[in-house]
Amino acid sequence: MNVLIVGGGGREHAIVWALSKSEQVEQLYCAPGNGGIAALAQCVPLSATDVDGVVAWAQTHSIDFVVVAPDDPLALGMVDALEDAGIPAFGPRADAAIIEASKIFSKNLMAKYHIPTAKYQTFTELAPALAYIEAEGAPIVVKADGLALGKGVIVAQTVAEAQEAVRSMMDGRKFGQAGARVVVEECMTGPEVTVLAFCDGEHLVPMPSSQDHKRAFDGNQGPNTGGMGSIAPVAIPPSPNYTPEVARRCMEEIFLPTVAALKAEGRPFQGVLYFGLMLTPDGPKVVEYNARFGDPECQAVLSLLETDLLDIFLACRNGTLDHLNIRWKDGAACCLVLASGGYPGSYAKGLPITGLEDAGQQAVVFHAGTKLGDDGTVFTNGGRVLGVTATGPDLNAAIDSAYAAAGHIHFQDMHFRTDIGRV
């Protein structure tokens, strides 16, 4: 099969890497791809949000299957457009991807189907939102309704901070149309866990639990980023918190009810459903849904997959996930992100990277923001540059291997956290 993957970050490199091991794949293409993906797939210079361009290109290049990985094209209806053009595609249609694209939709869905989540109110006007915050008190959480590059959530410690956040979203239009409507919700407490799940519209198969590290600096300090590292499965010292018992509760109270709810609403979800969970003193609750693999959770989780990923994607697309036995490696994985100095603020691009080959002996180095030079040199080309991903018999071994491998890599002002998997 000729397979096209849409996207060009570390997550897409991990998907391309896993698909490249499938015997069914003849040729892989990636739009737009990056400097590392280019070693495994032919990169196509199309933007990941160019719906018409991707459909037209797939039609003229005998593409048998398209994997749409990022949130924006899913929300724009790229899967709908491909399927309507007769090209099978992996990912939810826009009417199901709305579970990520609209927080108001997802909160209302959870309320209707009794799926545990933070208590909330939604607002389309400023004055009632300000009054609600005043009445509820702090800490309190303010969320822009739409996609805001992961930056539309403010966990406010004071009433004034929450009111300022609502003002900047609704009046200042800090996130454009995405912030025209807001959710104000109760601040929950507890460890956070991500569970990604394959879905075929009716059935759901959870992957190993995982954890992102969103803050830029050690000790979960500093500004939020796209993710500075990940581990899978989750076992935070001193004791693992995503126990089999917690997993069973999540399956019964959250995962299966969510898939059933979307089906009942006439929006069957096919693709990867991302459950952002908080293990609160009252039990597991949903923080957020995404309609795709998380980045960098994907890199850690897929490095543990044993089953052919193309078989899984096709089963999701064809509604036959229940016929498949998905196998995972024992042990654990760690993805350590190497970022440009200054990220998530401004940073330089075009810096040469050394040591990739040596690092590759110990770990898989997924590229996120890189570009390939004419002479084969790899240059930095983004905030998150590389995701050094290692597996091991246990979490400590995986973490140690990822750090040892990263020790070979150098570029000017390289920045990474030293505590991935340890906080």
Q: x/- string (CB under 6 A) for ligand AMP, residues 135-164? A: ------x--------x--x-x---------
**Is the CB of 289 or the CB of 403 nearer to ligand GLY?**
289
Looking only at residues 101 through 140 of this chain, which bind ligand AMP when binding is defined by CB under 6 A? 118
Looking only at residues 375 through 394 of this chain, which bind ligand GLY when binding is defined by CB under 6 A? none
When CB distances are held under 5 to 8 angstroms depending on the partner's kind, the choice from ligand GLY, ligand AMP, none that residue 141 binds is ligand AMP
CA distance 373 to 396: 36
**CB 84, CB 128: distance < 8 Å:** no
In whole angstroms, the minimum distance from the beta carbon of 240 to ligand AMP comes to 19
In whole angstroms, the minimum distance from the beta carbon of 292 to ligand GLY comes to 8
Read off the tokens for 98: 């709305």
Residue of 116, 146, 227, 421 that binds ligand GLY (CB under 6 A): 227
Q: For the CA atoms of 186, 191, 197, 201, what is the dihedral angle to 10 degrees?
A: -20
Stretch that binds ligand AMP, among 49-57, 184-192, 238-246, 352-360 (CB under 6 A): 184-192
Place of tokens 């803050």: 215
In whole angstroms, the minimum distance from the beta carbon of 423 to ligand AMP comes to 13
CA distance 83 to 58: 11
Q: x/- string (CB under 6 A) for ligand GLY, residues 188-217? A: ------------------------x-----
**Is the CB of 139 or the CB of 331 nearer to ligand AMP?**
139
Read off the tokens for 370: 């890189």
| CA 139 to chain CA centroid, nearest Å | 26
**Is the CB of 78 or the CB of 81 nearer to ligand GLY?**
78
When CB distances are held under 5 to 8 angstroms depending on the partner's kind, the choice from ligand GLY, ligand AMP, none that residue 294 binds is ligand GLY
Looking only at residues 272 through 311 of this chain, which bind ligand GLY when binding is defined by CB under 6 A? 290, 294-295, 297
**CB 345, CB 391: distance < 8 Å:** no
Stretch that binds ligand AMP, among 8-16, 185-193, 263-271, 390-398 (CB under 6 A): 185-193
Residues in the chain: 423
**CB 62, CB 1: distance < 8 Å:** no
Quick check: 288 binds ligand AMP (CB under 6 A)? yes
CA–CA distance from 238 to each of 68, 234, 241 (Å)? 38, 12, 9
**CB 211, CB 228: distance < 8 Å:** no
In whole angstroms, the minimum distance from the beta carbon of 141 to ligand AMP comes to 4
Quick check: 258 binds ligand GLY (CB under 6 A)? no
DSSP secondary structure, 189-220, as one string = -S-EEEEEEEEESS-EEEPPPBEE--EEEGGG
When CB distances are held under 5 to 8 angstroms depending on the partner's kind, the choice from ligand AMP, ligand GLY, none that residue 297 binds is ligand GLY
Quick check: 276 binds ligand AMP (CB under 6 A)? yes
CA distance 201 to 405: 39
Read off the tokens for 186: 């109760």
Quick check: 146 binds ligand GLY (CB under 6 A)? no
CA distance 37 to 42: 8
Residue closest to 333 by CA, chosen among 272, 423, 402: 402
**Is the CB of 82 or the CB of 162 nearer to ligand AMP?**
162
**Is the CB of 18 or the CB of 141 nearer to ligand AMP?**
141
**CB 332, CB 232: distance < 8 Å:** yes
Number of neighbours of residue 391 by Cβ within 10 angstroms: 20
**Is the CB of 70 or the CB of 268 nearer to ligand GLY?**
70
CA distance 263 to 303: 30
Quick check: 148 binds ligand GLY (CB under 6 A)? no
- For binding to ligand AMP (CB under 6 A), which residues are involved? 118, 141, 150, 153, 155, 185-188, 192, 276, 287-288
- For binding to ligand GLY (CB under 6 A), which residues are involved? 150, 212, 227, 290, 294-295, 297
